[in-house]
Amino acid sequence: MTKKYLLGIILCLIAVFSWGGMFPVMVPALKIMDPFYITLFRYGIVAIIFTIILLFVEGKSAFKSDGHFLKLWLFGTSAFAGFSFLVFLGQKTAGPSGSIIASVMMATQPLLGVLVGWVYRGVKPTIVSLISMIIAAVGVFMVVTKGDLSVLYKGDNTIFALVLILVGALCWVIYTTGGGDFKQWSILRYSTLTSIYGVLSVIVILFVATLMGWLSVPSFEQISGVSGALIYMISFAGVIAVFAWNLGNRIVGPINGILFMNLVPITSFVISIVNGYKISAFELAGVSITILALIGNNIYNRFAQSKVLKS
């Protein structure tokens, strides 16, 4: 194992451990402020930090889109507006188990990546990948229901929350996949420009929503109340995680990098248990099934890829 590859592994671990911790951290914050303005404060500051770093490292010319404005805007909006809006709204809607459900849904991103690759790059999924998706869906179903099928018809918001989180996770997969179109750019440049364009979309959306009366500008007390969560979300789950994830995936490759997403629910589970959340055996079994399905699919893809290279 080369030093560069080891660095890629460490970077991926930093990213997923940071993201695994953000769901429990957001539990008290979402009781104080809506996820939309939290997104603005979080990624607004992240975009500013990235901008300053890029300006000093690569200069003004690095801010040119080179004819890729639409792509950068779509990928940035997908990640920094779509992902954050939908996942944390889903977590808030799901209630006490929201952080667990959200973290498990993050682990399905490798399989969502298969679907995105099929649609965006024309790479058809294998039968094994399709079977893995079904098995992983069963695991997620177990986590969501906790063995109580009444959640499917008793009229609560669990299923709606699940859909929000799933679409949010898909948004991040689209962003990660889009990074493959900018291999000639530095990771810093791609991260910075997408964050800038994404935050601009966040500002427009919030302006319209606030003007229409759907949202209200948070008070100083609310901002102060979520300051601890914002510090974590901006630093560890923001600047550090985004940069580490993009660079780590470029080093180890997408097939290897995406496997690290399995550690997100494990990290979230451990933190939630420490904070007093009682995890049922059904939830534990469900997340285990989901992770095993993803690992099995990854191992098969590795084997198939090595077979092609040898032939």
Distant-in-sequence, close-in-space partners of 32: CB < 8 Å, separation ≥ 6: 222, 225, 226
Domain ranges, ordered by start, for the chain: 3-310
pLDDT confidence of 142, banded at 50, 70, 90?
Answer: confident
H helices within 153-226, ranges in order? 158-178, 187-211, 220-225
- 177 vs 189, residue with greater confidence: 189
State residue 281 phi and psi, 5-degree precision.
-65, -35
pLDDT of residue 67: 93
pLDDT of residue 152: 56
pLDDT of residue 48: 96
Q: Has residue 90 got a pLDDT over 90?
A: yes
37-64: buried (b, 16+ CB within 10 Å) or exposed (e) per residue? bbbbbbbbbbbebbeeebeeeeeeebee
Q: Has residue 309 got a pLDDT over 60?
A: no
Mean pLDDT, to the nearest integer, of 175-180?
86
Tell me the percentage of the chain whose pLDDT exceeds 90: 44
Q: Has residue 155 got a pLDDT over 60?
A: no
pLDDT of residue 281: 82
Mean pLDDT, to the nearest integer, of 242-252?
86
Q: If you ran DSSP here, which 8-state letter would residue 32 be given?
A: T
* Token representation of residue 301: 């893809």
pLDDT digits (tens, 9 = 90+) for 106-123: 877 877 888 888 888 887
Tell me how far apart the alpha carbons of residues 247 and 300 are, in angstroms, rounded to a whole number: 25
pLDDT confidence of 231, banded at 50, 70, 90?
Answer: very high
Q: Has residue 60 got a pLDDT over 80?
A: yes
Q: Has residue 71 got a pLDDT over 80?
A: yes
Q: Has residue 47 got a pLDDT over 60?
A: yes
Q: Has residue 131 got a pLDDT over 80?
A: yes
- 271 vs 241, residue with greater confidence: 241
